[in-house]
Amino acid sequence: MSREYREYEISTLTDIFNKVPANRIMSCMAELAELLTQAASMKEAILASAESDGIKIDPDKLMRMPESITWKDDGSGDLEFSLNHVEHGELVNVKTKMEHPE
């Protein structure tokens, strides 16, 4: 039997506070922190690679963060995000798993 889970549309910290049950906020924040860390690391790597090749890239045009995300409270630790160029669309889609999901 598969485990029931809920999904939460999150656009702001207030959404986390108002929508996610108190006993699930730590899990939500851990997954969000992992996603943001990985996305920022990839952005930094792309910018460093371009700079080493003498290519100047405006970081604000390289990628855009989504206006909102859907957090699936399933405890799986499965994470997915896409890096999108402002003008050219998706650069890369990353699927990963947290080492120690709940």
Is 1 domain-assigned?
A: no
Is 82 domain-assigned?
A: yes
Is 102 domain-assigned?
A: no
10-65 confidence digits (pLDDT tens)? 999 999 999 999 999 999 999 999 988 988 898 899 889 989 999 888 877 777 77
Quickly count: other Cβ atoms within 10 Å of residue 24's Cβ: 17
Model-level pTM? 0.79
Is 76 domain-assigned?
A: yes
Is 65 domain-assigned?
A: yes
Is 46 domain-assigned?
A: yes
Q: Which domain holds residue 86?
A: 6-97
The total domain count for the chain is 1
| Res 6 pLDDT > 60 | yes
| Res 1 pLDDT > 50 | no
Residue 30, classified by CB atoms within 10 Å of its CB into exposed (0-12), middle (13-18) or buried (19+), is middle
What is the spatial distance between Cα 44 and Cα 41, in angstroms, rounded to a whole number?
Answer: 5
